[in-house]
Amino acid sequence: MSDIILEARNLTKSFGGFVAVNDVNLRIERGSIHAIIGPNGAGKTTMFNLLTKFHTPTSGSIRFNDTDITNRKPAEIANMGIVRSFQISAVFPHLTALENVRLALQRGLGVSYHFWRSQKMLSDLDAQAVARLDQVGLKSYAHTRAVELPYGRKRALEIATTLGLEPELMLLDEPTQGMGTEDVGAVTELISRVREGRTIVMVEHNLGVVAELADTITVLARGEVLAEGPYSEVSRNPQVMEAYMGVSAEEQEEEA
């Protein structure tokens, strides 16, 4: 296997006449944390949805571990080891933290269509689920319903659930969005703790987080790659600085 886990070639996505992502090439190195940043409307979220197959590209191709996944469905790529998170915390609100994580673990049992069996068989997974919760500091909340958890902990629960799938590649959509400074620190630390043995792609607004975590940064602007490289390099790029200073109104519309 090559050192490139995920590769996008000439990826383009247009909505009607609007080209959100234009001829983007992206190579994600195995084991790295790769951040995609850019001003509002740069096409980050579209790019993210393309990589996770929630959108189908207008043209171009995506390869994961040298397999073409351009036309695969989201559930299929999840089974291949690519798992995404969402901008708004993605938990199952009326299930307990334990049940949330167990839903990820349950897939391995291959009994998910067995409507005639008791869910008591799932309690075999409890110990494993609690271990996952412990990993993100939520052990004592195992029986709390997700809806009752504070925001920062919901995100931690989401990460614990994602880890339950043992993903090779994790895609995090703005993991620290809408958080206070303290929670941002906690989540940053959490990500650096779980990165071992995985590759992480993240879309992130918070440059502090990006600077601390990311090995490589791709800067998008107007749907195209503006710059790529480590933080120290990218942050000194005059084009990047300009893109971050001036954001026009019509570009913000795409984000909505």
Q: Where along the sequence are the contacts to another protein (CB under 8 A)?
A: 52, 54, 74-75, 78-79, 83-86, 90-95, 99, 102-104, 106-107, 109, 111-119, 121-122, 136-145, 148, 150-153, 156, 161, 165, 180, 182-183, 185-187, 189-190, 193
What number of H helices and E strands is found in the chain? 10, 10
Question: Shortest distance, CB of residue 12 to another protein, whole angstroms?
Answer: 24
Question: Shortest distance, CB of residue 16 to another protein, whole angstroms?
Answer: 22
Question: Shortest distance, CB of residue 36 to another protein, whole angstroms?
Answer: 18
Nearer to another protein, 156 or 210 (CB): 156
Nearer to another protein, 121 or 131 (CB): 121
Question: Shortest distance, CB of residue 189 to another protein, whole angstroms?
Answer: 5
Q: Which residues pair with 145 in a beta bridge?
A: 96
Nearer to another protein, 111 or 131 (CB): 111
Question: Shortest distance, CB of residue 53 to another protein, whole angstroms?
Answer: 10
Nearer to another protein, 92 or 244 (CB): 92
Alpha-carbon span 98 to 216, nearest angstrom = 34
Alpha-carbon span 214 to 169, nearest angstrom = 15
Q: Strand 67-68 vs strand 82-84: parallel, antiparallel, or unpaired?
A: unpaired
DSSP-based three-state secondary structure for 40: coil
Q: What are the start-end ranges of the H helices in 10-125?
A: 44-51, 74-80, 97-106
Half-sphere exposure for 55 (CA within 13 Å, toward CB): 21
